[in-house]
Structure 1
């Protein structure tokens, strides 16, 4: 991820694009499935976007778990 943009901000933009909402409406504590209504295809797309950005595989199951928040996605993306 770009060093001048926080991982959380990057993820918020990715999620906003996928759910077709302004980034200002995407909050760190929003849950992907429950609050934002993302489906499995959108989760797969998010996983691919994150992988392309960080340059390594991301466990899609972690993103697709109930209760996963936007902030948790940023943690997953930056995990070693």
Structure 2
């Protein structure tokens, strides 16, 4: 992934697939747990898919925190 916008698009697509929504239904401000209703198993799967995409570990605990948004997820995936 080369840019933050690319990362956000990738994250939105992964979440759309996990949540069984279209990418247009997934907004950067949506919260993973509260708005999209992802459960801990889906968060684990998301973390694994992100790790495969970015080629390094992604902190699953940060993804699973209350109030974590789709945009936060993209930032977590690209954090050094």
What range describes the TM-score normalised by the shorter chain of this pair?
A: over 0.9
RMSD over aligned Cα atoms: 1.1
1:33 lines up with 2:37 in the alignment: no
Unaligned runs of 5+ in 1: none
**Where has structure 1 moved over 2 Å in runs of 4 or more?**
none
Structure 1 CA distance for aligned equivalents of residues 32 and 77 of structure 2: 15
Structure 2 CA distance for aligned equivalents of residues 58 and 7 of structure 1: 13
1:58 lines up with 2:45 in the alignment: no
The TM-score with structure 1 as length reference comes to 0.95
- Paired positions, count: 79
Aligned to 1:17: 17
Q: Deviations over 1:30-77 (max 9, x none)?
A: 000000000000000000000000010111000000000000000001
Unaligned runs of 5+ in 2: none
The TM-score with structure 2 as length reference comes to 0.95
